[in-house]
Structure 1
């Protein structure tokens, strides 16, 4: 006689039901992944890459100006403020918001939907890297929206507020140190990626062409400069945690301006600024010709 479960159904029926639910979830994930591969999202995501590239160029120019003694904020909000100052400011701000929001969604799908078929270790790495980028691009998109609505923010203040909130959380100082170490690790990754030219697969379009060397040079200089800036930013998080002074964590702008107090600081600041401009130029090419 066939046994039945507590609800009167046989184990086979329960297994079939579970399998049906699993299959339905799989079909839903496949459908969502197909939607994320749409041409419309592809165009918006590429636009987001272009916007981020432009911000890197402006940040780099501000950093070079700082090295020469001019005022400015070498951070995303400082760059967005420069873009908002033109007559088409509001339209540019909303366009930037839409582009960055689309890029954030695309990175989110990279972290979740498209990573489903990867081996476990690669899936976890993709979740961390693309998930972090999704949050970062979404944050920049919100900054664009803030300027469009007449409520500009300040990345340095936001970073200080965030650091203070982390220190006051249950995990406190260790959490802020962990965040700083993570940012430093991402910076090291960028330097390794640049020095090893591991970005070439992103722009295979130029492989073997006369322009390939120029693109490669931009990629090397840009990735190394961005990596150095991230390492400085991460170290500020660690120092702020170690000294129990979360207010000293001032983000990218603060980390770059801190270089001005050192003997070779202005020269290094100018070099990092030039590297950011190179990274922006590389990223523009990535937006147009890179594989998605």
Structure 2
């Protein structure tokens, strides 16, 4: 009797999850997620452009808030910020459904990997939605300062240095994931059409260069967290902008900075392609 009752409950939960999955698979969420990819594409292209400007002696903040600040100050800045916020929120919801509802159909190992990868993206895209919204309200944050404040708050806790190293490990892990994804070209299934044609090969170049460059940029950010933990100095973790600007003072740093800048633009172009031809 108890076994039958338990089976009925599991069946009821499964049917409910199937119903929620069908509801989540709506054109509105699809459009919002694609809009989110487009918004992130613009952010990456702008970060790449700012980094390229830095490589040639210019100024700017080569990180998400620096890019958004330049857009927010334009004539249509506020509506663009709110469109970006809606898109990133939709993208976060879509990844949440990927991490929970759709992950049910995978094997145990694949399900765990999906929980980690999509779960991380839920946090990333959700925070980007919040950043867009803050700029829409006219209260855009300084990312480098926010990173320092975040690191300082970690160090002020009981397990301060350990938490900084854990954060560094997560960022470094994501960076390695992007590099491997680019080198192995595992981004190909994300697109609906990927023919072995000249167009397909061009898209593949954008995907490889973009993912590897984004991964390298994250490795630099994670490296600064490691240095901050070793030195017990939160001022060392200055985010993406600080890590890219630090390259200016190395003998070959300008060349590396230029390569990463071009790669981030390539990732942005790939994200635009992903927003149009991506599998959702």
TM-score (norm 2): 0.96
Structure 1 position 280 matched with structure 2 position 268: yes
> What is the distance in 2 between the residues matched to 1:200 and 1:144?
29
Instruction: Spell out, residue by residue over 1:103-140, the C-alpha distance to the aligned partner (whole angstroms, 9 max, x if none).
Output: 01111111111101211121111111111111111111
Q: Which residue does 1:168 correspond to in 2?
A: 156
The aligned counterpart of 1:62 is: 50
Aligned residue among 209, 222, 227 for 2:210: 222
In structure 1, the residue corresponding to 2:209 is in which secondary structure? helix
Question: What is the aligned residue count?
Answer: 280
Q: 1:246 aligns with which of 221, 226, 234?
A: 234
Superimposed CA distance per residue, residues 164-208 of structure 1 (whole angstroms, 9 cap, x where no aligned partner): 222222322112112212211221121121122222222351322
Choose the corresponding residue for 2:189, options 194, 201, 209: 201
- The correspondence of residues 1-292 of structure 1 with structure 2, limited to 5 A, is 12=1, 14-292=2-280
**SS, match of residue 206 in structure 1:** coil
Q: Distance in 1 between matches of 2:231 and 2:160?
A: 13
CA distance in 1, matches of 2:4, 2:185: 50
How many angstroms apart in 1 are the aligned matches of 2:62 and 2:34?
24
Which sections of structure 2, spanning at least 5 residues, go unmatched? none
Helix, strand or coil at the partner of 2:138? coil
Give the Cα–Cα distance (whole angstroms) in 2 for the partners of residues 285 and 257 of structure 1.
29
Query: What's the C-alpha RMSD, in Å, of the aligned pairs?
Result: 1.3
Stretch moving more, 15-24 or 261-270 = 15-24
What TM-score results when the alignment is normalised by the length of structure 1?
A: 0.92
